[in-house]
Amino acid sequence: MPRTPRTAPRKSLYGVHPGVAMIQKWITDLPEKTGKTLEEWIELIKESGPPTEKERRDWLKAEHGLGTNAAWWLAERADGKGTEAGDPEAYLQAAEGYVAEMFAGSKAGLRPLYDELLQLGLGLGADVKACPCKTIVPLYRTHVFAQIKPTTRTRIDLGFALGATKATGRLIDTGGYAKKDRITHRIPITALADIDAEVRRWLRTAYDLDAKACGRSAVKQASRAHGFQVTCLSTSRS
């Protein structure tokens, strides 16, 4: 009997978020830093911890001296959530779902704008990757240089990392530079016609500026810029 040919897995449009590697290292370092492996923490939480995720977070901080991020993530893992945060393949599967959810319901009409912006960003160079979170899609070169955010039912904000660049034309200063945020400017997008030469120019500028960026490592920068451990992949706060 002839074998049924296997279908090659579809290559994802997205790249693995830099924070995944950070979480993997954090899991590896858990025994040295806390005296317990991830599995031992999960067992302890289930056997001795309080019943709800919120109570478990507070308990881990108060009784075991863990920091907010560690307590939050361990409480989620003990509840069967957040597995994608430390697994590249699981993250890529989840990323598709994040985007689908972002552009579902009342924001479904924004999906064509998102698709166009995504292709525009990925087309800047082979070194660009899009790494969806639950409410935004950051674009990375070495660091985040832009982000796509469905802000309202009728508008996407295309954010840029432009440092102290003076805002001109449709470019809006977000105040991010003063706050030391990675994203410092944005352009509102409400129609395909808004994705014009001005948008392309600023996106290219942000991409080029990132090639000149220096300082902290990409993983640390990505984590701080997007709060990966707690806000990028975590479930909704309770």
pLDDT, tens digit, 9 for 90 and up, residues 49-73: 999 999 999 999 999 999 998 899 8
Please state, for a pLDDT cut of 90, what percent of the chain lies above it: 71
* pLDDT band (50, 70, 90) for residue 237: very low
Q: What is the pLDDT of residues 120-148, one digit of tens each?
A: 999 999 999 999 999 999 999 999 999 99
Residue 44 lies in a domain: yes
What is the chain's mean pLDDT, rounded?
Answer: 87
**What pLDDT is stored for residue 39 in this prediction?**
94
Residue 164 lies in a domain: yes
Strand 129-130 to strand 172-173: parallel, antiparallel, or no bridges (unpaired)?
unpaired
Alpha helices for the chain (secondary structure H): 18-34, 38-48, 53-64, 68-78, 88-102, 111-122, 197-211, 218-226
CA-to-CA distance for 233 and 132, rounded, in angstroms? 9
Last residue of a domain, one of 56, 86, 116: 86
Instruction: Note down the domain range covering 223.
Output: 106-232
Q: Are residues 82 and 120 in the same domain?
A: no
- For residues 29-45, b (16+ Cβ closer than 10 Å) or e, as one string? ebeeebeeebeebbeeb
Supply angle C-alpha 97, 99, 100, rounded to 5. Answer: 65
Tell me which amino acid residue 49 is.
G
Q: Are residues 57 and 145 in the same domain?
A: no
Residue 112 lies in a domain: yes
Please state, for a pLDDT cut of 70, what percent of the chain lies above it: 84
Q: Are residues 57 and 142 in the same domain?
A: no
The verdict on pTM exceeding 0.95 is no
Range scoring the smallest mean pLDDT among 70-74, 105-109, 142-146, 170-174: 70-74
Last residue of a domain, one of 52, 86, 120: 86
Residue 157 lies in a domain: yes
Structure tokens at 105: 């319901």
Q: Are residues 63 and 133 in the same domain?
A: no
Does position 217 have pLDDT exceeding 50, yes or no? no
Query: What's the total number of domains in the chain?
Result: 2
Residue 98 lies in a domain: no
Q: Are residues 122 and 162 in the same domain?
A: yes
Q: Are residues 75 and 128 in the same domain?
A: no
* pLDDT band (50, 70, 90) for residue 81: confident
- Give the mean pLDDT of 27-40: 92
Residue 10 lies in a domain: no
Residue 11 lies in a domain: no
Structure tokens at 160: 């840029």
Q: Are residues 113 and 147 in the same domain?
A: yes
Last residue of a domain, one of 86, 120, 144: 86
Q: Are residues 119 and 204 in the same domain?
A: yes
